[in-house]
Structure 1
Amino acid sequence: MEPVYLMKLANAHQNWLSVRENTIAQNVANANTPGYRAKDVESFTALFDKAHVRMASTQPGHMTAMNAATRSVDVEKKDSWDVTYSGNSVSLEQEMMKAGEVARDHTLTTNLIKSIHSMMLMAAKAQ
């Protein structure tokens, strides 16, 4: 069985969140740019699946992971809430909702890192 590097995984997720936050900021900054097409990054789940990390099943009763839907890099016109007369596909409301998701995910991952760190400290003190 291969070891699971939770801190490395959490760090990769934080890096992905940083890239997504930057993409959202670019979309907001170009909200009034004629012809600008909104962008989004591929989901972290899709990137994780591409890393060829598979869950190990040591017992026949273990559950299997389901495949997650991937997300394209460019936001399609049908995925955007509104398109302005200039052909711009940025919806500020949609971008703010994405920014909220990034903030929640960042907080969750940060709290996970804190918990892992606390467990490591407790394990080190116990020995």
Structure 2
Amino acid sequence: MEPVNLFDLATQQARWLSVRQTAVAGNIANINTPNYKAVDVEPFEKVLDGTRVAMSATHAQHQDTGVTPASFSLDERDDPQLLPSENSVVLEDELVKAGEVRRAFELNTAIVKAFHRMLMMTAKG
């Protein structure tokens, strides 16, 4: 059976979510560090802009698609609001981001499970 693009997309999003969770955890860990600037990752939509979500070559005689892996870089916030310690981490914002990451992981997992069940049902039939 050939790999399905949905699984690749779900894997890419899971990696992105892992990087974002690391950034959020780092921000929370440094909440009392003077002069620390909060970081975040570029939105997943921008990561997808650099990736073609389409069919790819699965055989040596197929044409090269030119798809390159997207980068998961950490960026400082554009306009951080500095606290008296000149730290830009706001705990409430970081907790909201952590909740978003958790919900996205849950949705990602649910979609992959449902798609896997569907594939298994078609293979049995």
Which TM bucket (shorter chain)?
0.7 to 0.9
Q: What SS does structure 2 have at the residue aligned with 1:40?
A: strand
Alpha carbon RMSD of aligned pairs, Å? 1.9
Per the normalisation by structure 2, the TM-score is 0.77
Q: Does 1:97 align with 2:104?
A: no
2:47 is matched with 47
1:36·1:88 contact (CA, 8 Å) conserved in 2?
A: yes
Deviation track 1:26-63 (CA, whole Å, cap 9, x = no partner) reads 00000010000000001111011111446xxxxxxxxx
Distance 1:41 1:4 in 2: 27
Offset of 1:4 from its aligned partner?
5.8
Distance 1:52 1:11 in 2: 15
Offset of 1:73 from its aligned partner?
1.8
Offset of 1:76 from its aligned partner?
2.4
Structure 1: gaps spanning 5 or more residues: 55-71
2:17 is matched with 17
Offset of 1:83 from its aligned partner?
2.6
Aligned residues: 105
Instruction: Map 1:108-127 to 2 at 5 A.
Output: 108-126=107-125
Q: Give the strand-richer structure, 1 or 2.
A: 2
Distance 1:31 1:38 in 2: 9
Distance 2:52 2:18 in 1: 23
Distance 1:90 1:103 in 2: 20
Offset of 1:84 from its aligned partner?
1.5
Structure 2: gaps spanning 5 or more residues: 55-73
Moved over 3 A (4+): none
